Structures are given as C-alpha cells and as structure tokens.
Structure 1
Amino acid sequence: MIMEDNDDYFSSFDESWILALNDDEDDGVSGETLSASDTDKSDIDFSDFEENVDGDIVSDSNTDEAIDPMKAAMRSKMWTYNPRDDIEFEKGMLFTNVDAFRSALKDYVIQKGFVLVRRKNERTRCTAKCGIEGCQWRIHASLVGDTTTFMIKSYHAKHTCVMSKKNIEATSDWIAKKLVSVLKDYPEMTSKGIVAEMLKFGVNPIKMQVYRARKKAFEEIESSHGASYAKLPKYAELVRNHSPGSICKIHYDLPNLIMKEPRFLRIFISFKAQKDGFQAGCRPFIGFDGCHLKGPFGGVLLTAVALDGNNSLFPLAFAVAESENKDT
C-alpha cells in the first residue's frame, strides 16, 4: 500500500504533532459493548484483506528520509503481514488503515486463543479487551491526525486469565481468507486438507465451517454464478462489436416495472464463422440436442450441429434456456 504524503503534515517538527498522536490514549472503556458477531461484518469483504497485507511506504524521493526523520521512524513502525511469524503488538505500531488493524487483531486473538470483547469498533478508533472477567489485557488504536493510518495508542499485553485455543473469532469468513491463496495452487484440496491447513493456525474447524469457507474462497477466486450472469449483456455487446455478422440475443423476464433488474431467461449465440463454415463445407443436415446444467440456477444447454465433409460434428449455434420446449 502507498501511504499518501502530506508535506504540510510531515515537514514540521512542531511538538504539537507528537502530542496529537496520543490525544485519545486514555480513552476509557465506556459505551455499549460489541459482540464478536456484531463486528464480524468488517471481515466479509475479501478485497480489504488483500489490500491491507502490504504495509510498505513509497517515498517521494531518495532523500526524503534524510530531510524528514519522522518518515523514517514511521516506516520502521509500520506493521507488515507475515504468515510465518506470530503477531506481537506494541505501543506506537502503525497500520495502513482501520481494516488492516482489524485483520491483524483477529489473527492475533485466534493465534493466542482468548475471547475478545470490542468496546469500540469505529472507523476512527478501536478499543478491545479480554473477555475474561478480571483479565488486564487491553488495546486501543485510533487514527493519526487527519490520515488513514492507524496507531496503537495504548496497550497492556499481560494476560491474567487461562486462555483457550477455541474461540468464536475463527469464523468461516476468516478461514476463507486464509484458504484463497492455498486453493489457487491446490483447487482439488479435500476437507481433510483444509482442516490440516487450519491446524497450522491452531484452529480445528467443524465440517460445516469447512464447507462454507471452501465455498466462499472459490467465490473469491472464480466469482459466483450470479455475477457471471450479470456480465452477459457486456459479453453480447463485445460479440456484436468484434464479430460483425454474429448473432447474440438475450431474453429477459420483465413482469412489471417495479423490478429493479430484469431476470435472465435465455441466450442464443451463433458466430459468423459458424454460419460461413456451414454454407461453405457442410452437408445440408442439422441436428438438435440438449443437456441439463448442474449449476445453482439450473436450465438446459441447447445446441444445433451439422456434419462436415469428414462426417465430423460442426456446431452451428448454441443456447442456454430455462427448459426444453417450443418457446425456447
């Protein structure tokens, strides 16, 4: 990630800037307590995690650090994700934004094995403590000035409770994030392999968690069927623009004007090269066939084929429809 430069912000050695870093250090623990389920929504977006794992700062020039030592100090304290190392927090540690801090905090809680209670979980500040009554562990982080950078303002690292490796922070969303890079290389990984991969983090997921996490990880890698159907109009326009003479028609269901988006029914495609090939070298015989689609939305794939000079099948057109009947 590239942190925005603000010359007015970094070029001054005014001590008021240093005081501003800790203006909310002793923020207290007042306010309504947020449970883990209330805050788990911040982990749904997989793209946030991908963008936040890199904490590098790019300087404007090679002499920036010599001109402004404060930039060099901030660079040395910027947290970077390393899956091979255990996470350790310290006061003054910096994060690229609030999502990077939340991801690191979740990984830390799962790594150490204790219940986390979030006192504040806002875009500008986060305060959390150990959920065991009487335990002194507590962390507070908030924005640095008017930037998006997050800093740990106060941190009490000592636990006075008995920690357990089983906690509610290891959700299917968190497991899916860890599986994305693994399933890209090993898409045929079985459930036992996923469990073995999670045991590296000290997590032993149940069967339903493994199923949901695997599904979410593949949706992140390959996108979903619904998203693919939504791209069909763009595909049809590309076919018409780049293959003149081709036919690509989409039929939608528009029962009333209240619906915000039309519902896909069927699509028909016949490329110009298929028509030219049939007229130039195929026998005057056309056959029709169809097969059922096993995706979540069902439907059938209909095809029209001919025979070429070698008695091989030559496709003429294909369509995806809701069923095989006279209308389709």
Structure 2
Amino acid sequence: MHVDLSQDDTLEFPDLPHRRRDRTSSSMDSGELEVGKEFSNKDSFLGVVKQYSIMNGVNYKVVKSKSDKFKAKCVVQDGTCSWKIMASLRKKTGLWEIKKYKGPYTCVAGVSQDHPKMDSDMLATLILPTVKADPRTLVPVLIANIHGQLRYILSYRKAWIAK
C-alpha cells in the first residue's frame, strides 16, 4: 500500500487530546507559545509544549520540573539560541500559566527525523483513537495521520512499536 504523505488533509484524527482546544488555551491555533497562556493542568501544558517542539523542530531540555513549576531551554547552550520557557501553577486559579517565554526557536542545529519529544506516551495518545476504531489500521496510515496533524514524518519502527 502506498500512502501519499503530501495529502495532508486526506486523513484526520478525530478527538485527539493534544489537538483539542484546552479550555483556556489556543496555543496550537496560533502556532506560537506566549506569556500569559493558561492551561487546565501540567499535562495539558506539557502536551502543547511537546507538540509545539515537534511541529517546529525545537529540541529542548528540561531544566526544572516540579509539581508547581516547569522550565526548559534549548539543548544547545553555545549562545546561538536563547529559546526558553517557564510555566507555573497559579494557586489562586489552579491553572498553569506560561510566565516566561523567549522564542521563536532559532537554533541552526535542528532535530533529526526521530524527534526526542515524540515519545511513546505522546504517540499512544495520538494513535489510540485510530487503532481503537480499527485495530487493523496499517502502520503507513498511522504515519500519514501523524504527518497530517504535526507535519512530522514518524519512523516506521516507532509507529509499529506504538501500535
């Protein structure tokens, strides 16, 4: 079976948790992270940051991750890229908020096809609705679906293992 990855709009994921609009955030709609964006919980925030990093080729390292704070910055620390993000839990509202953000990502190092943030948890969340609807869904179809959503070409191996 041949899957044409250039047909972005032919395959869609219904009800993707990472694509659903967070009740207080439209980060994915604008394609950019920004100070003041709020998220219902830490997982929601982390999902958006991961998805942003995959869609934009950002490779970041986590500097701090606690129950009420998160900080990450570009993995390359040679002064050429100053990308960083910091968010914390606002106790008054119970929401996570981006407190500091320096972007966009300007690192020339880039990220290989095998993006480190496309981990098994993220993949499982992305493909679960499709595989539940039809467990016989072929791996190339899953790859095309991920590409349609994230503009990211998933390796066959990662897709097969996730399935």
TM-score normalised over the length of structure 1? 0.40
* Equivalences for residues 253-264 of structure 1 within 5 A: none
Any stretches of 5+ residues in structure 1 without a counterpart? 1-48, 57-77, 215-328
Aligned to 2:89: 143
| Alpha-carbon distance change, 105 to 202 in structure 1, aligned in 2, over 3 angstroms | same
Distance 1:164 1:114 in 2: 7
Select the structure that is richer in helix: 1
Relative contact order: is structure 1 or structure 2 higher (C-alpha 8 Å, sep ≥ 6)? 2
Query: How far is 1:104 from its partner?
Result: 0.7
Once the two structures are superposed, what CA deviation does each residue of 1:281-300 show, in whole Å capped at 9, x if it has no partner?
xxxxxxxxxxxxxxxxxxxx
Cα distance in 1 for residues equivalent to 2:134 and 2:30: 25
- Give the aligned partner of residue 291 of structure 1: none
Contact 1:110 1:165 in 2 (8 A): no
Q: Counterpart of 1:192 in 2: which secondary structure?
A: helix
Q: Does 2:123 align with 1:156?
A: no
Identify if the C-alpha distance between structure 1 residues 202 and 165 changes in structure 2 by more than 3 Å, giving closer, same or farther: farther
| Aligned-residue identity in percent | 26
1:80 positional shift? 4.6
Q: Distance in 2 between matches of 1:160 and 1:210?
A: 29
Task: Provide the C-alpha distance between the structure 2 equivalents of 1:93 and 1:142, rounded to a whole number of angstroms.
Answer: 11
2:135 to 168, 187, 190: 187
In structure 2, the residue corresponding to 1:161 is in which secondary structure?
coil
SS of residue in 1 equivalent to 2:145: helix
> 1:95-131: per-residue Cα shift (whole Å, max 9, x none)?
0011110111111111111211110111101001111
1:43-70: CA deviation from partner (whole Å, max 9, x where unpaired):
xxxxxx95995533xxxxxxxxxxxxxx
- Cα distance in 1 between the residues matched to 2:18 and 2:59: 27
Q: CA deviation at 1:143?
A: 1.1
Q: Which residue of 1 aligns with 2:53?
A: 109
| Larger Rg over CA atoms | 1
SS for the counterpart of 2:85 is: strand
Q: CA deviation at 1:138?
A: 0.8
- 1:180 CA drift (Å): 1.6
> Map of 1:139-288 to 2, 5 A cutoff?
139-162=85-108, 163-164=110-111, 166=113, 167-200=115-148, 201-214=150-163
After TM superposition, list the pairs within 5 Å mapping 1:46-125 onto structure 2. Answer: 50=17, 53=20, 55-56=22-23, 78-80=24-26, 85=29, 87-125=31-69
CA drift of 1:86 comes to: 6.0
Q: Is 2:18–2:47's contact at 8 Å kept on the other side of the alignment?
A: no
Counterpart CA distance in 1 for 2:138 and 2:123 is 15
For structure 2, list consecutive stretches of 5 or more residues without a partner in the other structure: 1-15
What one-letter code is carried by the residue in structure 2 that aligns with 1:164? V
Q: Counterparts of 1:127 and 1:156 in 2: how far apart (Å)?
A: 12
Structure 1 residues 197 and 86: alpha-carbon distance in aligned structure 2, compared to 1, 3 A threshold: farther
TM-score relative to the length of structure 2: 0.75
Contact 2:140/2:156 (8 A) holds in 1: no
